[in-house]
Structures are given as structure tokens and as C-alpha cells.
Amino acid sequence: MVNFEEQRRMPQENIEQNFEEQRRRTLRENIERNFEEQRRALLENIEQNFEEQRRALLENIEQNRLEIFPPPVMDPVITLNRLSYVNRRSPRIKKTTGCGILKYYINLRGRVINCTEAVINMVTSEIWKSATPAEKREYVSLSRHVNMLIAGQHNI
């Protein structure tokens, strides 16, 4: 049999237990809400930073377009030696494209202003799409010569 003191204590314990559960639930909801707000703010900051980098690099290239078109170095041997995949300890056999060579030069510009790889890829794509057929032809021709050198080095 439950004595009177125990009966009186049980509702108080239930109230305290309910209060503690409610406090934990509220705390968890606040943490989740704060996390979501911080995540949203971080994503907005990343998107804004990405767009600022893209604009800055695009502006830099458009202002100095004659330094990109025609390719700064027309010698296929020098171009081949500058491409990063050739300078690795164990170089792989890889063909290059006109757009790939353009990306190399845009990457050099992007490093100066600390652009991410994603920004460099996007700007390269935009510049390549906006290039005239004559501008593209110079890069494509250079890439053909570089690919002939690669094929000669590796007897492809």
C-alpha cells in the first residue's frame, strides 16, 4: 500500500519529469533552428563569395582579353611543358583540348585573386562560349600540335 507521502510526491515527480521533457524538447528545437539558420547563412555567404570571385575573374579577363586571345604561348613544346599533368612524377597519357589550354591560362589568372576551381571552370566555360571561331581556332590548333607531341612521346 502506498502511503500518503508517496502519493503526494508522485504528481510532483510527474510534473518535474514533464517539465524536464518539455525543456529538452525546446532546447533541441532551438538547436535545430539555430543550426538551420547558420547553415542558410553559410550557404548564402558561399554563393555570394562564388559570384564575387566569378565577376572579378571575368572582369579581369575581359579587360585584358588580348592577353588571353591569341594564346599567350603559341609554341606547342612550351605549352606541353607548362601543362600540369605532364610535369607530374608519373605523367599520364592525356590529350588536351583548346578549351583545356584556355583553362590553364585562366587558372593562372584565377590563382592571383584566389579563385576556387569551380569559379575557374565556370569562367573558362563562359569565355570559351563567348570566344569567336577565330579565337577558338588558335587554341584548337595549338592543342592539336600539343597532342601530336604527346603521341610522339608515348608512341600512341
Measured in residues, the chain has a length of 156
Buried b (16+ CB within 10 A) or exposed e, 119-139: bbebbbebbbeebeeebbebb
* Cis preceding-peptide flag for 11 (omega within 30 of 0): no
At 99-140, the pLDDT tens digits run 999 999 999 999 888 899 999 999 999 999 999 999 999 999
Q: What is residue 28's predicted lDDT score, i.e. its pLDDT? A: 87
- Taking only the tens place, the pLDDT of each residue in 108-117 is 999 888 899 9
**Is residue 50 a contact partner of residue 118, using CB atoms and an 8 Å limit?**
yes
Q: Per mean pLDDT, which range of 15-19, 71-75, 114-118 is the poorest?
A: 15-19
pLDDT in the model for residue 129: 96
130 or 39, which is more confident: 130
Distance (Å, whole) CA 115 – CA 50 = 8
Q: Which of 132, 139, 61, 128 is nearest to 97 (CA)?
A: 139
Retrieve residue 83's grid coordinates: 601543362
Residues 59 and 112: beta-carbon distance below 8 Å: no
CA distances from 155 to 104, 117, 149 (A): 25, 32, 10
pLDDT over 70 for what percent of the chain? 84
Q: What average pLDDT does this structure show over 85-109?
A: 80
**pLDDT value of position 121:** 95
